[in-house]
Structure 1
Amino acid sequence: MVASLSLPRILRVGGGAVGALGDVVAGLGLRRPLLVTDAFLSGTGAAERLMATLRDAGLQPCLFAGTVPDPTTDSLGAGLTVLREHGADSVIGFGGGSPVDTAKALALLGVRGGRMRDYKAPHTNLGPALPVIAVPTTAGSGSEATQFTIVTDSATNEKMLCSGLAFLPVAAVVDFELTLSMPARLTADTGVDALTHAVEAYVSRRANPFSDGLALTAIRSIGRHLRRVYSDGADTEAREAMMLAATQAGIAFSNSSVALVHGMSRPIGAHFHVAHGLSNAMLFPAVTAFSVPAAESRYADCARALEAATDGDSDAVAAGKFVEALRALCVDLEVPTPQAHGIDSDEWSRLSLLMAEQALASGSPANNPVVPTVEEIQDLYEQIYA
């Protein structure tokens, strides 16, 4: 098997790394970056501090703070206007997955034009696009190291997966100190997102030795640190470990793939506006139980990495322990069911067929150990509701 591997050309990782952002951008020969962020980071002054860092490096940055949670095609228009008026030669995504995903989309549309729908899977996007530099502020999406972006079609509520090297950041600045103010709920949701990335990368039909090593390392670290950082957000050792694990998991799934959890998660986010990491968590135990029979030994490896099973356990026992460990983790992190989250039962049932069709059409379920039918996906949606 020959694996095709891609990751950012430059990675700056560690506490205080964000101070080097100006040097990173200048070192790439870029001069007019557009800093893409959200209203929260703009309001706290964090975006302006980053703008000052860029100006101190002799750059001419411009700020766009209009990113919305789970970016939509409608939300991209204002950013494109600012990008073109500034004459940007690069885009910096500063924030969680949504600002980074927005930056990736703007970088492509700013050069190629057209509609985001033109670039959704199964289309592979090789460019051209403006260079993207990612500065994550959450330990979860891994988007700083992936060749994917997610944008919801405002007309259809379809959460579109767009992939290809055009979306791969040329550089990532990964500074765990930016995550210290994350609230517990966001810490939990993004942490489970990172764990899902690592597990799905490992059990995916497109897994390879390169992604395997990163995935298992990330699973082990998340297992040791996620509960710690959920209970104590000031635990800097756990924060640093989670930030690194999220990037490792991002590199892993970008060079392997995600699978059924992510395929089913995106429609939940699009139709019910559930945070991506939280919808992953809602699905994770049930989808894993569904998938285990086709990849028992791979899930057993995940269990041992998570320290939920030992080398003395058979693969069957270890895989079973892994499912139970995920259930226990979701209890400890207070993950609600869709019902407990306030989603109406009738609306959930009414949309379950459409969500199942959209999940399957995204392509991610085809990478799952068990490739499901539409009916099986509908059944899983019904299982997790209450």
Structure 2
Amino acid sequence: MKSYSEFSIPNSVFYGQNSLSQLGEQVKAYGKKVLLISDRVIEKIGHVKTCLNALEDLDLAFVSYLDVNTEPTDEHVGEALQLCLQEQCDVIVAIGGGSCIDAAKAVAVLATNGGYIGDYMGGKTPIQHAPIPLIAIPTTAGTGSEVTNVTVITNTSEDIKMMIKHNAFLPKVAIVDPLLTTSSPPSVTAATGINALCHAIEAYISRRSQPLTDTLALSAIEAILKNLRVAYEDGENIEAREKMAIASMQAGIAFSNASVTLVHGMSRPIGALFHVPHGISNAMLLPGVLEFTKESAIEKLATIGRIISPDSSSLPNTELAQIAIDGIKQLCSDLNIPNLKIWGIHEEKFQQVIDKMATNAIASGSPGNNPKVPTKQEIIDLYNYCYHYDFTTQASSLIN
């Protein structure tokens, strides 16, 4: 019986204000020609130009692929890979949100191993060769992709989000500069911030959690609960931005090593079929899933309750667990998180694909890490529950 745990992180992590200044030297340490992967929004903001200037200053050659969008697909990966191979790039720089970084991870692995990215899902095809070195630079405080060994790519022919986990997807270097996140509008700050909170909470309650991941997850939970509203309301608050950037990174390391649970398992099909941004779909599900899970995670939810309400720390664990759920509901309400109906998903179409979503959620493996492992019917019931979810009321006891 296995009695040990594994803990993996990038070779180097640079974090804090102006850490982007390390980009050129890090690229120089790993290669001579760069494929920079990003999107048009990051280009428009000016972050792509900043990176390219840093490469030019050291006379490093580069080409750019800037067509990733809000959800990375196998088509993006294929296009970027073709450019990488044609130009004989030997190092990849990804700057942007988790979509850009996830696409870059897939390209880095395929460039040396070949095939289609879906071939590697579930370990069907072994990854035999080291990937092209990847330097990941997040511009949002949410996905933690810069420090994780996971990539999530949409299979466009089957409308399935493929979650693929292997240490080959772990970037060599992460550069986490909070100054890059100040350009995120409030809606993106909310979505990515709640995504980071999901990562931290799921890593903490996961059946695969371990002492190292618990420490990072709790630190992230506390920082996010204290700083997300501030960053949402005042995007220029550098202190809040920096704490959110570090918390997102901590949450990323935590879930990369402990795995996510039911929220992410249910969230991916929503993103694949209805193109809801990942952070939003997670937020839509988080309180409802925690209600479902509560009785199987009382002690850990109680610990979160003590973070939310220190003055209530002497209350019984069951009450503290409820405080945790209600506090998270209130945060979602304050950040104007909609339910699935308000987002605009047509209920009839939702019902037509709900069975497929539940099947795909289970197939992802993430629900099996939940403290309370759901049946397919329970996942269907949860989808229906979350479709009409009201974030403004006290948590319901309908699901238990």
Look up the match of 1:104.
105
CA distance in 2, matches of 1:258, 1:65: 29
The Cα offsets for residues 49-94 of structure 1, whole Å up to 9 and x where unpaired, read as 2011012123212211111221111222221111011111121111
Q: Which moved more, 1:370-379 or 1:117-126?
A: 117-126
The code of the aligned residue for 1:37 comes to S
Q: Tell me by how many angstroms 1:309 deviates.
A: 6.6
Please name the residue that 1:92 is paired with: 93
Alignment of structure 1 residues 355-366 onto 2, 5 Å: 355-366=357-368
| Matching of residues 135-150 of structure 1 within 5 Å | 135-150=137-152
The separation in 1 between residues aligned to 2:295 and 2:128, in whole angstroms, is 36
1:6 deviation in Å? 0.4
1:322 to 321, 324, 329: 324
Separation of aligned partners in 1, 2:127 and 2:383: 31
TM-score (norm 2): 0.94
Contact 2:113 2:127 in 1 (8 A): no
Q: Could you tell me how far apart the structure 2 residues matched to 1:313 and 1:34 are?
A: 55
What CA deviation, in whole Å up to 9, does each residue of 1:12-48 have, x standing for no partner? 1011111110112223x32112110001112333212
Aligned to 2:395: none
Q: Give the superposition deviation at 1:282.
A: 0.2
Report the CA distance shift for 1:336/1:300 in structure 2 as closer, same or farther (over 3 A): same
- 1:46 is aligned to 47
How far the C-alpha of 1:126 sits from its partner, in A, is 6.4
Secondary structure class of the residue paired with 1:317:
helix
Q: Report the counterpart of residue 338 of structure 2 in structure 1.
A: 336
Q: 1:91–1:107: 8 Å Cα contact kept in structure 2?
A: yes
Q: Is the 8 A contact 2:55 2:61 kept in 1?
A: yes
C-alpha distance in structure 2 between counterparts of 1:189 and 1:22, whole Å? 31
Equivalent residue number for residue 63 of structure 1: 64
User: Does the 8 A contact of 1:356 with 1:374 survive in 2?
Assistant: yes
Q: Deviations over 1:308-355 (max 9, x none)?
A: 773212211111111111111111111001110111000111111100
Cα distance in 1 for partners of 2:22, 2:307 equals 34
Structure 2 distance, partners of 1:121, 1:184, is 36
**For 1:366 and 1:333, how far apart are their aligned partners in 2?**
29
Alpha-carbon offset, residue 276 of structure 1: 0.3
State the alpha-carbon separation in 2 of the partners of residues 306 and 365 from structure 1: 26
Provide the C-alpha distance between the structure 1 equivalents of 2:42 and 2:136, rounded to a whole number of angstroms. 15
Comparing 44-53 with 87-96, greater Cα deviation is found at: 44-53
Alignment partner of 1:232 is 2:223: no
Equivalent pair of 2:95/2:139 in contact (CA under 8 Å): yes
Compute the TM-score of the two structures, normalised by the length of structure 1. 0.97
Counterpart in the other structure of 2:393: none
Aligned residue in 2 for 1:182: 184
Cα-to-partner distance string for 1:277-319 (whole Å, 9 max, x where unaligned): 0000000000001011111101111222344773212211111
Letter in 2 for 1:36: I
Which AA in structure 2 matches 1:129? P
Asked if 1:118 corresponds to 2:119, the answer is yes
Contact 2:113 2:128 survives alignment (8 Å): no
Change (3 A) 1:332 1:122: farther
Counterparts of 1:354 and 1:59 in 2: how far apart (Å)? 47
The question of whether the paired residues in 2 share the 8 Å contact of 1:126 and 1:166 is answered with no
Give structure 1 stretches of 5+ with no counterpart. Answer: none
Q: 1:34 and 1:15 mapped to 2: Cα distance?
A: 25
Please give the secondary structure, in 2, of the residue aligned with 1:334: coil
Aligned length: 385
Asked whether 1:273 is paired with 2:257, we answer no
Contact 2:39 2:96 in 1 (8 A): yes
Question: Runs of 4+ in structure 1 displaced over 4 angstroms?
Answer: 122-127
Match of 2:224 in 1: 222
Whole-angstrom distance in 2 between the partners of 1:120 and 1:305: 37
Query: What is residue 158 of structure 1 aligned with on the other side?
Result: 160
What CA RMSD, in Å, does the superposition of the two structures yield over aligned residues? 1.3
**Stretch of structure 1 that moved more, 120-129 or 92-101:** 120-129
